[in-house]
Structures are given as C-alpha cells and as structure tokens.
Amino acid sequence: MFEYFPTNYIWSLGVAATLNSGGAIDEVDRACRPIRDAAERGDAGTRDLMLAWKRVADQVAEQAQEAEKAGHLRTAGQKYFRSAAYVCQAERMLSSSDPERIPFYQQGLDALQKSFDLIDPATTRVAIPFEGSELPAYFLKAERPDGTPAPTMIMWNGLDSTKEHMYTSGWPQELAQRGISTLMVDCPGSGEALRFLGLKSRVETEDWAAACVDWLETREDVDHDRIGLAGWSLGGYYAPRAAAFEKRIKLVVAWGANHNWGEVQKKRLEREGENPVPHYWEHVLWVWGYDDLDSFIQAAEAVNLNGVVEQITCPFLITHGENDRQINVKYAHQSYDQAVNSPKRTLRVFTPEEGATEHVGLDHLPHVGAYTADWIEDTFLEMA
C-alpha cells in the first residue's frame, strides 16, 4: 500500500482510500503535508488531521461556489464532490465525543447534495422506513436501454464507513453503467442512522435487509426478482447474515470477509492486528450502544457466522486481501468452507503483486470493485 504516513497505518489507509475514491493527489497532499512531520514524531492527533483536511475541503468548496456563480455547473459539481469526499474521509477519524464531528459530517452531506443537484440527477436521497424510524440512503437509478426494471444492489457499510464513502468510491456508478441500480444505506450503527437518529448496530441484520427489500419492492423501476446485497468491512458479517435469513436477497457479496468479528475484538484487546480508526474502543461502544468494554466484548461473541453461512442459498461472493492487516484472510476461507448450500460460491483473494491486498482493497479499490461488478453482472444475467 502507498503509505503517505509511514508510521501511521490508520492515516495512510485513509489517504489510499481517498486517492482511490475521487480525490486529487495535489489536494490530498496539501491536506496532509502540514501534519506529516508531526505524525512521524508522534505528536499529531486526529484533530490536527481534521483541521488540515478541512482547510483544503473548504478551499475546494469555495472554488465550487465561484464556478457555480459563473455558470460552470459541471466544474462546480465536481469540486463539491471532492470537497465532500475529503470531509467524509477525515470525519471518520474524529472521536465520537468531539463536538466538531457532527457539524463536520453535515458539511460533507451538504457538499455531496450540491454535487447531486448539479451533475448527478440519477442519484437521489431517500429514506427507508425502519421500526418507527428510518435508514437514510442514496438511490442511484440505472437507465436500461430497453426500459426494463433494473436489477438492484443494496450496499451496506462497515464499522466506520458511511453511504458517502460508498458513493465516492465510484462503485455504484460502475454498476449503473452495467444497468444495475444501487441503494446505498446507512445501517444502524453507521452514518446518519447513528449520528442523527441514534440507531445502534445489532446481531440480527436480516431486520435491516427486510426493510430495504420492502422499500425496493415499492418501486416499479426495480426488478424485484433480482435484488442483491453487498457489504464491506464489518458488512462482511452484516450482509451474509442477512442473506441467510432474508430469502428475497438473490445474491450476496462479502466485500472483505468478517466471519468471526467477535473473536477479532478479543484479539484486538491483545493488540493483534490494526485498528480501522483512532479512538477505536470508544467508537465500537458508540456503534453498538454499550457503556463499558467488558459488556461489549461479551456481547460481541455473538457477531459471527458459524452456523449461519450454511443457511445461505443464493450465490455468494467473498473477496479478501491476502495481506489484510485488520481481518486475517483465514476468515474468508472459513466463510467459503461453511457456505456449502450456496449454489454459486466464489472466493477471490487479492495478492500483493496485483494490489487490493489490504483491508477491503482500499489500496487498489478500482481493481476489487471491477471484479465484484463483473461477478454481479454475470450472476444477474444468469438469473435472467
């Protein structure tokens, strides 16, 4: 992986993710350069990172406003997009108790909405009814040449990502070019669902899946017989769990396996592996709604797919990086070996030689994204 901050895996992964999600290398460098030396000395904190990135995000947003006033709407939309991408990558580094976190996240939401308005009318903000509340989401509608309803992928977050990360990754746009729509959802424990609505994560992710499918089935532009589900990072647990019990899901993708996340938490207590974000334990308690670490660790034992993936009866793709420093590749093999009732199970491990070998392929996101899109396209065609 390109490691801008050689002594800081978490920050370097964020840089790689940004460069693979529409970021401009000059702007990313200008955001990071002021804190690079401090990071190497070990005296730069997440607030320093946020302020450095915010300066560049604000500058790009100001450029977008100037372009919009001049009538250069495409330029403005592109700049609002990049400003939003920078905000959302930096926001995930902040402590959940930081008073700037929610306003900073809102800044990213506002910039991305401006981008939709100016250059991407195919993507709209929607809300999925869920247990008296809602799951905030984006829906990217694919236009099919024959005008038929589109196969549709539901896309779910991991522990610390948001639907904005999904959108800026470029993957939903890639699916749209193949005639496949995408519903990008902030599940309980992530994005707006956590920050604004207080919805916490849970073991039974089939509940969220049912709500998403129910909503899609109300749309005439969706092929109700070809609805799939992809989840990355912790979504590698969320998505297979949901597909095992919500049979209206016709294919499922674990974009980074997470067969036994509870076991991984115990290993992280022993400092095995890398964390995805700073303030890690504060973050997981926020996501899952626990006040103390001991209670969380005990409850997290249930976050595993043993006895679950055997109940998946639809096509199942697992992608994983051989050198994933967060989730060991052995968990990908466990999910694959146990998914004996899937009619089409596929395991794709990405190597250092080709790239996409880090966590969910963030070091070479287009590579793992293209493979996954190809597999989904082929599988939906087989169903047709």
pLDDT at 124: 98
- State percent of the chain over pLDDT 90: 94
Query: Once rounded to an integer, what is the mean pLDDT over residues 79-105?
Result: 95
Q: Cα–Cα distance between 24 and 11 in angstroms, integer?
A: 17
Q: Which of 36, 32, 118, 25 is nearest to 71 (CA)?
A: 118
Query: Once rounded to an integer, what is the mean pLDDT over residues 254-270?
Result: 96
Tell me what the pLDDT averaged over the chain comes to: 96
112 in Cβ contact with 84 (< 8 Å): yes
Quick: pLDDT tens for 122-151: 999 999 999 999 999 999 999 999 999 999
pLDDT at 331: 98
DSSP string, 298-367: HHHTT-B-TTTGGG--S-EEEEEETT-SSS-THHHHHHHHH-TT-SSEEEEEE-TTTS--SGGGGGGHHH
List 154's β-bridge partners, or say none.
183, 229
pLDDT at 44: 62
The yes-or-no verdict on residue 42 having pLDDT over 90 is: no
The angle formed by the CA atoms of residues 175, 233 and 362, to the nearest 5 degrees, is 65
The yes-or-no verdict on residue 41 having pLDDT over 90 is: no
336 in Cβ contact with 297 (< 8 Å): no
The pair of structure tokens assigned to 294 is 């001991």
Residue 384: pLDDT band (50, 70, 90) is confident
The yes-or-no verdict on residue 231 having pLDDT over 90 is: yes
Measure Cα distances from 361 to 21, 162, 202, 244, 255 in Å.
12, 17, 25, 25, 9
The yes-or-no verdict on residue 98 having pLDDT over 80 is: yes
Residue with tokens 């989401």: 137
Measure Cα distances from 155 to 176, 182, 365 in Å.
13, 7, 15
pLDDT at 336: 98
Quick: pLDDT tens for 137-192: 999 999 999 999 999 999 999 999 999 999 999 999 999 999 999 999 999 999 99
Identify the helix (H) or strand (E) that includes residue 255.
Answer: strand 251-255
- The number of beta carbons lying within 10 Å of the beta carbon of residue 30 is 15
Query: Once rounded to an integer, what is the mean pLDDT over residues 66-91?
Result: 97
The pair of structure tokens assigned to 18 is 């940004």
Quick: pLDDT tens for 284-331: 999 999 999 999 999 999 999 999 999 999 999 999 999 999 999 999
160 in Cβ contact with 274 (< 8 Å): no
The yes-or-no verdict on residue 236 having pLDDT over 90 is: yes
Q: Cα–Cα distance between 46 and 69 in angstroms, integer?
A: 34
Measure Cα distances from 212 to 130, 249, 350, 373 in Å.
9, 10, 30, 20
Residue with tokens 């560049």: 56
Query: Once rounded to an integer, what is the mean pLDDT over residues 76-100?
Result: 95
327 in Cβ contact with 263 (< 8 Å): no
The yes-or-no verdict on residue 204 having pLDDT over 80 is: yes
pLDDT at 39: 80
pLDDT at 127: 98
Q: Cα–Cα distance between 31 and 26 in angstroms, integer?
A: 9
The pair of structure tokens assigned to 11 is 């920050």
The type of residue at 382 is E
pLDDT at 43: 63
